[in-house]
Amino acid sequence: GVALLVALVAQNDPAAVLASITHLSWRLAVIVAFPAVLVAFFDTLGWRYAFLREAVPFRALAASRLAGEAFNMTTPTAAVGGEAVKAWLLRGHAPLDATLASVIVAKTTITLGQGLYFLLGVVVAWETELAGTPLMLVMSWCLVIEAVALGLFVLVQTRGMLGWTGRMLERIGVRPASVQGMFGRVDASLGEFYRTAPGRLGLSIWFHFVAWALGSVETWLLLRFLGSEVSLATATVIEAFSTGVKVATFLIPASLGALEGGFVATFTMLGLSPTTAISFSLVRRLREAAWVAIGLVAFVAMRPREPRAPAGEGAS
C-alpha cells in the first residue's frame, strides 16, 4: 500500500501536490474538524441504537468508538480488530456478551448504511459522464456483491453465528467452556435484537447512513478549498465510489494506496486532474491521522472498570 501510494504521488507532480496542500493553510484545520465531528456523533448514535437496551453512557460510547476506529485504521485486522477493542473498553458499563452483540449489529448497520450510500452514488453516477464506463461497471458489480454478502452476514447472525464458531473450536480440540457460554449468550442477544427491535435497527442504519452522506459535504468542501469547483452530486459520486473501494480492500489497513488509485481513476473519469486526486487523498490522510491520534488518546484515557456480569449471573 505504501509503495503504491508513493508511486502515485511520484507520477502526479509531487511539487504541485505539496503546493496545493500548503496553500490550504488554516483551511486544513477546518477539514480536520468539519464534518468529522458530526460524522463521529452520528456514527456513535448508530452504535447506541445497536444495543437492545440503553445501557452505556453516550460519552463512553463515543470514546470507545474513537479508540476502536483508531485500531481498525492502523492494524491489519480486516477492520474488525477495533471492534474487539470497543467491546473490551465497555466491559465495565455492560456485560461483555451485550457489548459484543452491539458491535456485531453496529458493524452490520454501518455497512448497510454504506451500501445505501453507495447505491445513491451509483444512481447519481448514471446521470454523469461515468455512465457506461468500465469504472461504472466495476462499481455496479461491487454493489451487487456487497448486497449479497450483507444478506448472508445478517442471515448467519440470526442462525447462531458464534455458536457455530464454538463448535468449530471444539472440533480442533479447543473447549473453553466460559467462552462457549458467552458465544451462546451473544447469539441469543443477536437473535432477540433482530426479532424484537426493528425500530432500533432502522435508526441505527439511518444514523450511519447520515454519517456516510456527510462525506459528500467533506468532499465538496475540500475540493473547493483545493480550487476545483464541483457540484454536490459529483462530490457524492466521488465519495460513494471511495466507500466501495474501502469495502473491497478492507484487508489493507486504511486501504492505503488502493484508495488513492481509486481516487485517481474516478477523478480522471470525471474530467478532474489526477494531481488534484492525489492532493485530495493526502489531505484526507492527514485528517485520518489526526483522528487516529485522538482515538489513541481516548484509548489511553479510558480507565478500566470492573467487568459487568451477564444478566442473571453474579458478579465475577
Which pLDDT band holds residue 177 (cuts at 50, 70, 90)?
low
Comparing C-alpha atoms, which of 20, 93, 107 is closest to residue 54?
93
Give per-residue pLDDT as tens, 18-58.
Answer: 999 999 999 999 999 999 999 999 999 999 999 998 889 99
3-state secondary structure at position 26: coil
Q: Which three cell numbers stand for residue 155?
A: 442471515
Note the pLDDT of residue 176.
59
Q: Report the alpha-carbon distance of residue 296 to residue 177 in Å, rounded.
A: 33
What are the residues whose beta carbons fall under 8 Å from the beta carbon of 212, sequence distance 6 or more? 113, 114, 116, 117, 243
Give per-residue pLDDT as tens, 188-239.
Answer: 889 899 999 999 999 999 999 999 999 999 999 999 999 999 999 999 999 9
Note the pLDDT of residue 281.
96
CB 48 within 8 A of CB 55: no
Note the pLDDT of residue 81.
86
pLDDT over 90 (residue 252) = no
pLDDT over 80 (residue 169) = no
pLDDT over 80 (residue 92) = yes
Give per-residue pLDDT as tens, 66-88.
Answer: 999 999 998 887 678 899 999 99
**Average pLDDT, integer, range 11-19:** 92
**Average pLDDT, integer, range 155-162:** 76
pLDDT over 90 (residue 186) = no
pLDDT over 50 (residue 314) = no
Give residue for cell 471444539.
170
With vertex at residue 299, the alpha carbon angle to CA 35 and CA 44, rounded to the nearest 5 degrees, is: 40
Q: Which three cell numbers stand for residue 33?
A: 474538524
Q: Which three cell numbers stand for residue 151?
A: 444478506
CB 68 within 8 A of CB 296: no
Q: DSSP string spanning 272-283? A: --HHHHHHHHHH
> Using alpha carbons only, how large is the chain's radius of gyration in Å?
21
Q: Report the alpha-carbon distance of residue 268 to residue 263 in Å, rounded.
A: 8
Which pLDDT band holds residue 315 (cuts at 50, 70, 90)?
very low
Hey, what amino acid is at 169? L
Note the pLDDT of residue 198.
94
pLDDT over 80 (residue 303) = no
Q: Report the alpha-carbon distance of residue 257 to residue 266 in Å, rounded.
A: 14
Q: Which three cell numbers stand for residue 87?
A: 467491546
